[in-house]
Structure 1
Amino acid sequence: MTSQQAAKQAALFGGEIQQNEPVRQYLVKVEDVPKFDLESYIANYKGRTRFDRLYMIGSCSTVLSTDALRLAVVEAKSGKDVARYERAVQALAKIAPKDPEAVLDRKWVERTRQVVRAETDKLEHELKGYKNNLIKESIRMGTDDLASHYHAIGDLASASKTYSRLKDNCTTPSHAAAMHLKTINVAIERGDWFAVQQAVAKYRSGPKPEDEQKKIQPKIAASLGLSHLELGNYLEAANNFLAAEPTLGDSFNENLTANDVAVYGGLCALASMDRNDLQKNVLENGQFRNYLELEPHIRRAISFFCNSKFRSCLDILEEYRTDYLLDFHLQRHIAPLYTRIRTKSIQQYSIPFSRITLQAMAKVFAPDAVGGLARPTDINSPFVQELIALIEKGILDARIDLEKGLLVSKQTDLRADVHKEAIESVEEYINEAHLRLLRANILSAGLQVTAPVLDIKADLGTRLGRGPSWN
């Protein structure tokens, strides 16, 4: 938030607006109607991520902006985070100034701030008393309550610091596991992805409750996968999402749902794995199949890619692009993910051929251009420019013959390579057989020269001048 924006907000709402958490900037405007129903979609989530997703949809979607921001105002008002409520009201006032929810409820703001201050003082005072009494379990519970309070009011930095102090007072593996999961939740909200990875590493290296492993493992795997996704490490993200046990259900919907794991894992795998790995690690993965059943279009897209039906794969992805552009974690990764998948498709399509007509490729990868442009294979057409860029980057090992309208591969003659390797193997075998026969003939003729066997003691005695019989 800039100083001018802060001043404008202060003038609008009669005071300073405090921001306790980082605010994402949403630059993508989505004009199309998504496939999901807003209320049904948001009902899958709970906790603070519901507001995050509603606010993002309201900021980016021109179709759902009013409905999403109205729901975001109601969601914020049901909690204790005043800054979120004020931010949602501001956003709604910009697009629907006459909406009843676009008017700031000052009484609620003042009342909530008073309640928050009183509760903060109470919890801090109680924790101080527990520390004076040196009761370890009471200190742990008091610290946990204070951290949860900070989390609820949006003071994520204080929540993170307070949760980190729980370590010395955790007496059981269950306490330690709960602490790590809460630390991960706060780190995800803050967008501190390295902190998420550190918390996962600490959980894995510390004591773990054996009876809760099936519940905790998918949360840990999904959290680590999400951190790699946000950092742009798509292969690592795919591997972690694919490793999540199918017992996640709705137990982690304060951050992710099982549907999110299917979409994030499937897209990251498509963007980073070859066809053999996709077939083995995704389609034939028994535990991830349970996630794919929740999002069958992702499974179909991967199947089409493995079967070289690239047009069908890309069509499915384009069909759901609007939905993914309105996803809180996925939006800024859609462009690189889709680009990688499209590039891989072009590579795989061209591998079996030494020459391909640009017209045939355009029908698969640019069907709109074929019907809409007079010469879709002209050098100035977007598709040909895309191929040129791939060739210049070294991604596509080929050259373009514009006169004949061909993409010519630079691959060597594979048949000639096979023949050359076979001839080299035969020559190597003949040479080795010749040497073996030569050695056998030398041995049979008695022409082998053997090294003399020396008597070490006799030789040593002679050298010392004591005679050969010296002992």
Structure 2
Amino acid sequence: MANSLLAFFTLMDNQGGVVVKDAPKFDLDLYIQNYKGRTRFDRLFLIGRSSVPLCVDALKAAIAEAKRGRDTQRYKEAVECLRIAAPSEPEANLDMAWLDNQERVNQIETNRLLTELKGYKNNLIKESIRMGNEDLGKHYESIGDLNAAAEAYSKMRPDASTVKQFIDVGKHLVRVSVQRREWGMVGAHLSKMGGAQSAEDEKALQPYVKIAQGIALIGQEKYLAAAHSFLAAEPTAPSSTYSDLASPNDVAIYGGLLALAFMDRTDLQSQVLDNPRFRSFLELEPHIRRAIAQFVSGRYSACIAILESYRADYLLDIYLQKHIPHIYAQIRSKCIVQYLVPFSCVSLETMTKAFGIPDQPIEDELAEMIQSGALQARINTIDKVIPCLTPRNSRPPLTFLKYVTTKATNSRVQMQESALQAAENYERQALDRLRRIGLAAADLELKGPKKMGGHGFANQPEYLMEETLG
């Protein structure tokens, strides 16, 4: 089996997939119980194609999940993966009896639903037409024809007459759009749901809308907006209302990671740690709260260590997998920058102890940060100083590196500029007060400028004030 697994993950790597060699911290059976609908197969199949330790178990669970449904194509894909990874497993062989029977049943059900819908349209009964399109859309979705499912669900909207029916249409379309990874369409369908809600319906639906919106924003790489969306989700609604998209644990992970990567220290304290709504989600993932608290407290290496211990878990998430390298790099860069803020000079030995990665010199990472503009500092050698603003196309020499020197601001120049600005403001205010005193002493009234007209000229207050003072 070892050779088969090696061949399978070599194939996945060649196809551009993510291969996770470390075992995640979650239990597969308990993890998948948090979800319902087609996302269960999606998550199991992704874990099976990505996790070396969980590959066989996840693929076998995915095959079992596919056989509980109607999507024969998914079943074939899962069996094919297991055949390459573990050909000796009984599930690695196609169950042709089940496959032929399910395809026949699917075709019969499709014809039946189309016939019923045609009859409803001939009778011109709006409610029956709406329900017929809904049943047809659910059937198409269950067999994996997502394009036909989206079309059937869209045809429900003209015949919807109540708020609940409009919301159901929106949820169906959002779910299909998420499966098709059409992130822009998710936002469009959510906005239409919002326009059809009353105040009570909006409150009940708020968590679903915020979570679906956050997932779509992650897909569009709008990370800060996604963080705000997750942080705003109300924890009052039961998780079953959005378990076809995510779990409460996912909300804590998505919101916490994105906030840590793209919010400053003040916002992390006020909008995450002190947020009473999001605190209910954070209690489900206490390590996320600890990581954020460590960053806010200035313990940056401890923050990074916590996140690194859970990297394998997040690389197996269907929405986070492709974004984790960028999110983690952003958090790490942010920690390094904040670590250097109080110092004018830090030894590379200290930096290596705090942020070092085995077999990866810290000098290379610092040089890249300096070149990209993320870090305002410079790396000193024994005999020369490397400027902090080096050209992007030239890499600074990295031999005999001893210190990292932050780019300090000229405090004396700043103080002088501030003093001059304060003096100018004081002089301007003093002159204005003297003019007003002069006007009051001369018993004159200051009026606004008149509109230009005829041969006259507008009265300028400055002229009047100068004459009074003279």
When the two structures are superposed, what TM-score results if normalisation uses the length of structure 2?
Answer: 0.83
Q: Which whole-Å CA distance do the structure 1 matches of 2:150 and 2:279 have between them?
A: 35
Q: In the superposition, relative to structure 1, how do residues 447 and 347 fare at CA in structure 2: closer, same or farther (>3 Å)? A: same
C-alpha distance in 1 between matches for 2:320 and 2:126: 42
- Superposed CA RMSD in Å reads 2.5
Which of 313, 317, 321 is the aligned partner of 2:307?
A: 317
Structure-1 residue corresponding to 2:220: 231
> Residue 406 of structure 1: CA displacement?
2.2
2:209 alignment partner, one of 205, 220, 233: 220
Aligned residue among 380, 390, 412 for 1:401: 380
Tell whether the 8 Å contact from 2:59 to 2:82 is kept in structure 1 after alignment.
yes
Aligned to 1:197: 187
User: Residues of 1 paired with 2:215 and 2:424: CA distance?
Assistant: 55
Deviation at residue 402 of structure 1 after TM alignment? 2.3
Residue in structure 1 matched with residue 363 of structure 2 by the alignment: 384
- The yes-or-no answer on 1:429 pairing with 2:408 is no
Distance across 2 between alignment mates of 1:236 and 1:342: 20
Aligned mate of 2:68, from 61, 64, 78? 78
Per-residue CA deviation, residues 198-217 of structure 1 (Å, 9 max, x unaligned), is 1112112x221444333311
| Residue 286 (1) aligns with residue 276 (2) | yes
Residue 62 of structure 1 is matched in structure 2 by 52
**Residue of 238, 243, 258 corresponding to 1:249:** 238
Check the 8 A contact 1:26/1:60 in 2, yes or no.
no
Letter paired with 2:402: G
Counterparts of 2:214 and 2:354, CA distance in 1: 32
Structure 1 position 112 matched with structure 2 position 91: no
Per the alignment, residue 141 of structure 1 pairs with: 131
Distance between the aligned counterparts of 2:172 and 2:435, measured in 1? 76
AA at the equivalent of 1:75? E
Task: Report how far residue 435 of structure 1 moved.
Answer: 6.6
Cα deviation for residue 436 of structure 1 reads 4.4
Query: 1:394: how far off?
Result: 1.3
The 1:293–1:128 alpha-carbon spacing in structure 2 relative to 1, beyond 3 Å, is same
Q: How far apart, in 2, do the equivalents of 1:138 and 1:441 lie? A: 85
CA contact (8 A) 2:351 2:362 kept: no
1:246-279 Cα shifts (integer Å, max 9, x gaps): 1243221111011101101111111111111111
5+ residue gaps in structure 2? 1-14, 383-400, 448-454, 457-470
Deviation, 1:416, is 5.1
Q: How big is the shift at 1:440?
A: 4.8
Q: Following TM superposition, by how much is the alpha carbon of 1:447 offset from its aligned partner in structure 2, in angstroms?
A: 12
Alignment partners' CA distance in 2, 1:238 and 1:266: 7
| Deviation at residue 359 of structure 1 after TM alignment | 2.0
Structure 2 counterpart of 1:175, from 165, 172, 176: 165
The letter for the 2-side match of 1:232 is E
State the Cα deviation string for residues 200-251 of structure 1 (Å, max 9, x = none). 12112x2214443333111111011001111211001101111111124322
Return closer, same or farther for 1:442/1:29 CA change in 2, 3 Å cut-off.
closer
**SS of corresponding position for 2:239:** coil
Tell me, yes or no, if the aligned pair for 1:177 and 1:209 is still in contact at 8 Å.
no
Measure, in 1, the Cα distance between the counterparts of 2:173 and 2:99: 28
Distance 1:359 1:70 in 2: 48
Look up the equivalent residue of 1:319 and give its one-letter code: S
Q: Which residue of 2 aligns with 1:295?
A: 285
Q: In terms of Rg, which structure is larger?
A: 1
Aligned to 1:53: 43
- The verdict on how the C-alpha distance between 1:138 and 1:359 changes in structure 2, with shifts beyond 3 A counting, is same
Alignment of 1:252-271 (within 5 A): 252-271=242-261
The ranges of structure 1 where at least 4 consecutive aligned residues each deviate by more than 4 angstroms after the TM superposition are: 434-444
Matching residue's letter, 1:399: R
Q: Given the alignment of the two structures, is residue 123 of structure 1 paired with residue 113 of structure 2, yes or no?
A: yes
Q: What residue ranges of structure 1 are gaps of 5+ in the alignment?
A: 1-24, 373-380, 452-458, 461-471
Give the counterpart of 1:240 among 219, 229, 238. Answer: 229
CA–CA distance in 1 between the matches of 2:55 and 2:218? 26
1:382 Cα deviation from its structure 2 partner: 2.5
Relative distance call for 1:421 and 1:111 in structure 2 (3 A) is same
Distance 1:438 1:119, change over 3 A: closer
User: Residues of 2 paired with 1:222 and 1:440: CA distance?
Assistant: 62
2:317 aligned residue? 327
Residue type of the partner of 1:38? L
Q: Deviations over 1:276-326 (max 9, x none)?
A: 111111111110111101111111111111111101100010000011111
The verdict on how the C-alpha distance between 1:430 and 1:209 changes in structure 2, with shifts beyond 3 A counting, is closer
Indicate how the Cα distance of structure 1 residues 346 and 440 shifts in structure 2: closer, same or farther if over 3 A, else same: same
Per the alignment, residue 408 of structure 2 pairs with: 411
CA shift, 1:443, in A, is 7.7
2:30 corresponds to: 40
Whole-angstrom distance in 1 between the partners of 2:106 and 2:428: 88
Q: Whole-Å Cα distance in 2 between the matches of residues 145 and 210 of structure 1?
A: 29
2:178/2:186 contact within 8 Å kept: yes
Q: Percent identity?
A: 45
2:129–2:159: 8 Å Cα contact kept in structure 1? Answer: yes
